[in-house]
Structure 1
Amino acid sequence: MDPYRPTSTYRLQLGPGLTLDRAADLVDYLDRLGAGAAYLSPILTAAPGSTHGYDVADPASVSAVLGGDPGRRTLVQRLHGRGMGAVVDIVPNHMSVAAPAANPWWWDVLRSGRDSSCARFFDVDWSAGPLELPVLADDGDGGAGALERLGVADDCLTYEDLRFPLAPGTYSPGDPPDRVHGRQHYRLVSWRRGRHRLSYRRFFDVTGLAAVRVEDPDVFAAAHAEILRWAERGELDGLRVDHPDGLSDPGGYLRRLRAAFDGWIVAEKILEPGEALPASWPVDGTTGYDALREVCGLFVDPAGESALTELAASLGAPTDTAAVQTESRRFAAREPLAPEVRRIAALTGTADREAAEAAVAELLASFGAYRSYLPEGRAVWDRAVERARAARPDLAAVLDAVDETVRADPAGELAVRIQQTSGMVMAKGTEDTAFYRATRFVALNEVGGDPARFGVGPAEFHSCCTRREAARPATMTALSTHDTKRSEDVRARLAVLSEIPEEFAAAVHRWRAACGIGDPALDLLAWQSLVGTWPVSAARMRDYLLKAAREQKERTGWIDGDPGFEAEVAAWPERVLSAEDLCADVAAFAARIRAAGWSNSLGQKLLHLAGPGVPDLYQGSELWDLSLVDPDNRRPVDFTCRQTHLERLERGRRPDVDATGEAKLHVVRTALHLRRGRDLRGYLPLEAAGPAAGHAVAFARGPRRDVVAVATRLPVGLAAAGGWGDTSLPLPGGSGPWTDALTGRVLLPQRTDGYCGPPLADLLDRYPVALLVRD
């Protein structure tokens, strides 16, 4: 029997507003849409009040808030009853410890210290003394004042609304709380302590998420017992593994997981351009950010780079995106991830601790990929060491010592901790800092992307697709996810700016003269975001820009904020929307690029759904979805509206491309049903012939090359050149007529008498895409 692989997945972000029972009610809609599987955000018991599920607190149970195990079973039964799969997101790297009472493992560690049966479950440095918990308020006194608010109640140490266990025999009635506190295996310390030194490894810089040691077989068994129970009962078809780069041995973990589960497995691995998934990982592929970069990049005009760079420079915003990324990674290593750097520096054996910390920070900031995966990723390691030496020759001796130790023992603690931390530095420095500082053209500032690479040409796109089909045909592909900085439709609209950069630059200069933001990079980000999401409410834009300003970590931040600057940022959306002339100008510009943005959206969606891999559809994105970074992209989805549009399509409607987004739903439904009914193995690039050939991207799928996807790229330039003219698309040879599944139009069979394929002016006269099928 062939291993399971879904034809496609539909991502559902579960939470109090979308429970497992509610998801079960959506199975009929997902089936009629054509989805092959429901792909669920984490469903194990999370921290109280969790809105996303990635802060798992108890891996032994299904979240009661989501509907518990009965809700899970009902959903799986309905999916399997429709021939659909159940794919679940799991989080092996960390657990929530923010509310200790919610996490039975952490509670036992706090109660019994290093003698706890769960002590080895977490990555704790027990040699550092009592476990430090950075939870106390700090008014500049190091948390001393907060200690006065400790209490004892119900056999627990209390602070505000938090409860902490008491070790046996450490409390007698009447004992002062501060003395009871001093007898515990933990110490409550200032929340600021987490910025400098901690004795447990975290998820990035989130002190409420503690790293789990799943490399230990017993820990692995305990953390996965519930998940594997579902698999043994035939109630689990696929797993999405969150953040494997944070594990001590990602490959070893995935091999153990594969031995226990024979379903579909994809790993959330961010690949840099040109990087391949480690060949030793027994998984079906990644979660699709590599495909996202390639597909979306097709619709960016490289000719617009110079003018957009000039615009950023004229405003005073950074233009050297590579330099910004490097400096942002240095910041991440020196500041939010300083505790991890200090712990690594202590392993180098260098007497000069300051030099050791500086060398480790520079090395972590020098990686060109998220992780080196030693020993097989030796080339990535060597390049990082070389870059660090070049940047800091004064630290060469320390770097040489680190290099020698790591080469000698790639599985040793020093090597492992550097590898675990390099991915965190890359993510915090690039995704969560540089992408908000280097805002020249934010359509490129996406997870897995490279803002310095301005677009993807058709030849590169076809090459990537060919490799994907050959190497990882069951990998997930994506355009929007819960982690993307902006939705696929926002990026598609912003891509139009690369075709009219001078016009956009002139508009920005007009707009900012009337209502600008003091920080140039944030100002440029704001105007692009406003145009990309128009029309958008002031509240949504305000929340987004405040998050962006804090992620920049320059004028303000999450920890040390600037209330005055934040007030300016928060007031900006309302100022723009209440200025009648300015608002009208922005609206007119957005209307100018809207149709081209729709064309790009349909093009990238069809190529995504028809291309190699297993396409994932993020919830709600079957219609136009102009969302920004989370939590904006977790807003409730109006499934009733989508079901209404779907019913219209099922009655034979072929919608216009308009503001309803029904045309996108038409493309999605048609392509997903085609994937379920056709063998799409194989990939053949097709080249158009004629004066506008560069504006067409097409490929054939299937063993008999009997499915062809066609998309329009750079639509503004195409229109300016007079349209398709006599450009045509030669189709694969074979007998039988072709039918465009989107329009129902029948094309003549391919001939050998000089006929060069259908004219694109005719083929794409109704939609900017075509999905041809030969029976």
Structure 2
Amino acid sequence: MESTYRLQLRPGFGFAEAADIAEYLAELGVGAVYTSPVLTPTPGSTHGYDVVDPTRANPELGGEAGRAAMVARLRALGLDLVVDIVPNHMAVEVPSANQWWWDVLAHGPSSRFAGHFDIASFPVLVPVLGSDDEVSQLTVDGDRLRYHDHEFPIAPGTGEGTAQEVHERQHYRLVDWRRASKELNYRRFFDITTLAGVRVEVPEVFEDTHREVLRWIADGDVQGLRVDHPDGLADPGGYAERLAERAGCWIVVEKILEPGESLPASWPVAGTTGYDALREVCGVFVDPAAEKAVNAIAADLGVPTDYGSVVDECRRLITDTSLAAEVTRIARLLSDVDIERASRVVAEVMAAFPVYRSYQPEDDEHWLAAVEAVRGTHPDLADAVDTLDRQVRADPRGELATRLQQTSGMVVAKGTEDTAFYRYTRFVALNEVGGDPGRFGVGLDEFHAAQASREATHPRAMTTLSTHDTKRSEDVRARLAVLAEIPDEFAEVVRRWTERRGLPEPTLNLLAWQTLVGAWPITADRLADYLTKASREAKVRTSWTDGDEEFDAAVAAWPHQVLGDPGLLAEVRAFAARITPPGWSNALGQKLLQLAGPGIPDVYQGTELWDLSLVDPDNRRPVDFTERRDLLDKLAAGWPPPVDETGAAKLHVVRTVLRLRRERPELFTGYRPVGAEGPADQHVVAFERSGLIAVATRFPARLTDWGGTRLALPVGSWVDQLTGRASDGDLAETLADYPVALLLRGE
């Protein structure tokens, strides 16, 4: 496969609907359909990551018959299939839907499936009650214990007496949901108690959870796998080796790499799912020279500009609250240190990790960096740090080392992506999964070095610009990047707008104005839903578990007030119009660099046209494929689309590159930067593959004209595949119609 197209399957858009658009995707040039998880999830799931039965295809998507019919359609059109799998956890929100979990609750340690889940002790705490006193509301209904709409099994021979007496005899305890953060005794996915950790490092568990997917691969139905959240596994490297050996297909892992971090060399996978590429491709369109001005705006509005301090604060918030149970469980494994100091040192080390997790014994570098950081900042913990370090390195595959590494990824992700990214709002185009908001943009040399490295080490890794997990879509980020070119203009309007209708919390206020212009036009309801989520994730004035009704109401009302203010609305509309055309230029540039660059590019559903989506669930809205089919037909007939609000120009870029990748894959090998000469040389980024050159415009809002700037083209005749026009390197002519070009060497 030379490219993938991500589809978010859900009830109402299942296997049959995917088969219906397969011809469109083939005509677009896609190499493989890449689906969200298709094994059976919690009934009604809109995303599929909450699997309850890994042994059968999701009946709400069409079941096994629907899956087989979709595969037949894809095969007929020459399309591969890549599926998303979730080895780290299973859903337990509806116990009766998950027969393995139901059996564990019914039979406790004697259940055949007790070892499938990462349970520390019995009885298992099930945090569903409004308060512990509500145990009085339990009722017995045959062989089930009920609490409102929740039902749980009653162990054989334990059903006599009152509901409360029956409850005390079970292998589980229903408790106040608030106790989960400090007392939960099973591993979960991050802080989500309804997703219980699975022990795929156990051979029997691996077989039970992967048997059906491996059958699909063996039958030729599936050609690739995307592995969700490998950092949550006890032994990610061992898992990758086992999966690669059994599957023998293209495998990418959802591994978040910090800038400068590499995927462990021993993992037999094609690479990551591409957040590292996202940071590089999006960052090269952000002008680093604007950082000082952007910091001044943020500071003036009361928004912090020291990213490291915000991250430290947020990670410690997570270790002390939502993941306190995990910290305590690890601390109990530390010998010769009292539990209070052990908990503190464990929390500090996990918060200090420079990456999501280490992979011992293969990688000691990041573990040692975290340990040294704590030694330097907390000398009072020196003896406890030494003890922890000694015990971890003495047994790098033991339970203490394993749980520390599993949990550090949770701390980093929850503290950084899901907290700091919503607090550190000085310039939110940079606040993306896999990114580093503290680094303002990506320079040309860094960009080219990263692409050359990918081509040399992981040429078949996935690359992406938008996913179901991105905080905002690629086109929102592309438009927001324009603000770095006109920081003074943005500072003027945001100060004026804040005086008129600012939100009462500074970091949310600055986030809100950036979101409004970045996603414009946006409805008040969509913006209200987004800001409600953002404010709760930030955990400054409100949160999911400890809300502030007055503040929450103000946040929900704000979009309606802004859009209902005619004078302010006119200003917002005018400013959005100012940054939209250069935002289109950035968006086309990003897309071209991603699609033509090293790796296997993924196109997230719908993003072949302009897409101004925000974080989930906003980015899972239905896609209008009829509109896309109609525009694709016009392009096939030879229509040269303008760069306008339809987004047809982006579809033209996507179609052109994907079809070329499929028809002439030999062009997309190698990597060499292509420089420019002239007064506007910093406004272009270009590279050559093998007889193919991608050219994109940088910093379009500040670009007046190309003024004799030329690309240093290699010898030969070059023709732009987007326009059919020959190019001798003169950028004024090459980029006369579009801000991007794809030059192919003539025979």
Q: TM-score range by the shorter chain?
A: over 0.9
Find the residue that maps to 1:596 and give its secondary structure: helix
The corresponding residue for 2:723 is 743
CA distance in 1, matches of 2:262, 2:12: 38
CA distance in 1, matches of 2:238, 2:573: 53
Match of 1:346 among 297, 320, 332: 332
The corresponding residue for 2:538 is 552
Match of 1:319 among 305, 317, 322: 305
Do the aligned partners of 1:368 and 1:380 also contact (CA within 8 Å) in 2?
yes
The corresponding residue for 2:273 is 287
CA distance in 1, matches of 2:399, 2:297: 47
Find the residue that maps to 1:58 and give its secondary structure: strand
Find the residue that maps to 2:521 and give its secondary structure: coil
Pairing of 1:356-755 with structure 2 (within 5 A): 356-678=342-664, 679=666, 680-702=668-690, 706-719=691-704, 723-734=705-716, 737-747=717-727
CA distance in 1, matches of 2:378, 2:418: 25
Q: Report the alpha carbon displacement of residue 746 of structure 1 after superposing the two structures with TM.
A: 2.7
The corresponding residue for 1:96 is 91
Amino acid at match of 2:725: R
Do the aligned partners of 1:54 and 1:91 also contact (CA within 8 Å) in 2?
yes
Q: Report the alpha carbon displacement of residue 758 of structure 1 after superposing the two structures with TM.
A: 2.1
Quick check: 1:134 aligned with 2:127?
A: yes
Q: Report the alpha carbon displacement of residue 72 of structure 1 after superposing the two structures with TM.
A: 1.1
Q: Report the alpha carbon displacement of residue 375 of structure 1 after superposing the two structures with TM.
A: 1.4
Q: Deviations over 1:347-394 (max 9, x none)?
A: 002452111111111111000000110112101000000111222221
Q: Report the alpha carbon displacement of residue 71 of structure 1 after superposing the two structures with TM.
A: 1.2
Find the residue that maps to 1:18 and give its secondary structure: coil
Q: Deviations over 1:477-523 (max 9, x none)?
A: 00000000000000000000000001100100010111000000000
RMSD: 0.9
Q: Report the alpha carbon displacement of residue 733 of structure 1 after superposing the two structures with TM.
A: 2.3
Q: Report the alpha carbon displacement of residue 738 of structure 1 after superposing the two structures with TM.
A: 2.0
Match of 1:307 among 282, 286, 293: 293
Do the aligned partners of 1:542 and 1:573 also contact (CA within 8 Å) in 2?
yes
Amino acid at match of 1:716: A
The corresponding residue for 1:298 is 284
Identical aligned residues as a percent: 60
Q: Deviations over 1:553-575 (max 9, x none)?
A: 11000001000000010010011
Match of 1:758 among 724, 729, 734: 729
Q: Report the alpha carbon displacement of residue 620 of structure 1 after superposing the two structures with TM.
A: 0.3
Find the residue that maps to 1:196 and give its secondary structure: helix
Amino acid at match of 1:759: D
CA distance in 2, matches of 1:187, 1:321: 42
Do the aligned partners of 1:298 and 1:461 also contact (CA within 8 Å) in 2?
yes
Find the residue that maps to 2:9 and give its secondary structure: coil
Do the aligned partners of 2:278 and 2:464 also contact (CA within 8 Å) in 1?
yes
The count of corresponding residues between Structure 1 and Structure 2 is 744
Amino acid at match of 1:135: V
Amino acid at match of 2:713: L
Amino acid at match of 2:319: A
Q: Report the alpha carbon displacement of residue 684 of structure 1 after superposing the two structures with TM.
A: 1.3
Do the aligned partners of 2:11 and 2:44 also contact (CA within 8 Å) in 1?
no
Find the residue that maps to 1:435 and give its secondary structure: helix
Quick check: 1:774 aligned with 2:745?
A: yes
Amino acid at match of 1:483: D
Q: Deviations over 1:373-426 (max 9, x none)?
A: 011210100000011122222111111100000111100110000000000000
Amino acid at match of 1:739: V
Find the residue that maps to 1:324 and give its secondary structure: helix
Q: Deviations over 1:453-475 (max 9, x none)?
A: 10011111111010100100000
Amino acid at match of 2:422: Y
Q: Which runs of 5+ in 2 are unaligned?
A: none
Do the aligned partners of 2:337 and 2:384 also contact (CA within 8 Å) in 1?
no
CA distance in 2, matches of 1:80, 1:682: 30
Find the residue that maps to 1:148 and give its secondary structure: helix
Q: Deviations over 1:669-705 (max 9, x none)?
A: 0010011111111111100111111111111112xxx
TM-score scaled by length of structure 1: 0.95
CA distance in 2, matches of 1:85, 1:326: 43
Distance verdict in 2 for CA 1:71–1:713, change over 3 Å: same
> 351-360 or 46-55: which moved more?
351-360
CA distance in 2, matches of 1:505, 1:581: 18
CA distance in 2, matches of 1:634, 1:154: 40
CA distance in 2, matches of 1:733, 1:90: 47
Q: Report the alpha carbon displacement of residue 120 of structure 1 after superposing the two structures with TM.
A: 0.4
Q: Report the alpha carbon displacement of residue 623 of structure 1 after superposing the two structures with TM.
A: 0.4
Q: Deviations over 1:151-195 (max 9, x none)?
A: 1113111111111111111114xx211111111111111111102
CA distance in 2, matches of 1:17, 1:696: 44
CA distance in 1, matches of 2:205, 2:678: 61
Amino acid at match of 1:249: D
CA distance in 2, matches of 1:483, 1:388: 31
Amino acid at match of 1:19: G
CA distance in 1, matches of 2:244, 2:441: 36
CA distance in 1, matches of 2:102, 2:378: 44
Find the residue that maps to 2:544 and give its secondary structure: coil
Do the aligned partners of 2:5 and 2:34 also contact (CA within 8 Å) in 1?
yes
CA distance in 2, matches of 1:454, 1:75: 44
Q: Report the alpha carbon displacement of residue 148 of structure 1 after superposing the two structures with TM.
A: 1.5
CA distance in 1, matches of 2:204, 2:66: 29
CA distance in 2, matches of 1:185, 1:31: 52
The corresponding residue for 1:62 is 57
Amino acid at match of 1:355: R
Amino acid at match of 1:149: Q
CA distance in 1, matches of 2:374, 2:13: 47
> 325-334 or 481-490: which moved more?
325-334
Amino acid at match of 2:150: L
CA distance in 2, matches of 1:351, 1:242: 35
Do the aligned partners of 1:238 and 1:263 also contact (CA within 8 Å) in 2?
yes
> 552-561 or 69-78: which moved more?
69-78
CA distance in 2, matches of 1:681, 1:771: 15
CA distance in 2, matches of 1:674, 1:457: 28
Find the residue that maps to 2:59 and give its secondary structure: coil
CA distance in 2, matches of 1:298, 1:373: 30
Do the aligned partners of 1:17 and 1:636 also contact (CA within 8 Å) in 2?
no
Find the residue that maps to 1:65 and give its secondary structure: helix
Do the aligned partners of 1:350 and 1:356 also contact (CA within 8 Å) in 2?
no
Amino acid at match of 1:697: V
CA distance in 2, matches of 1:71, 1:238: 19
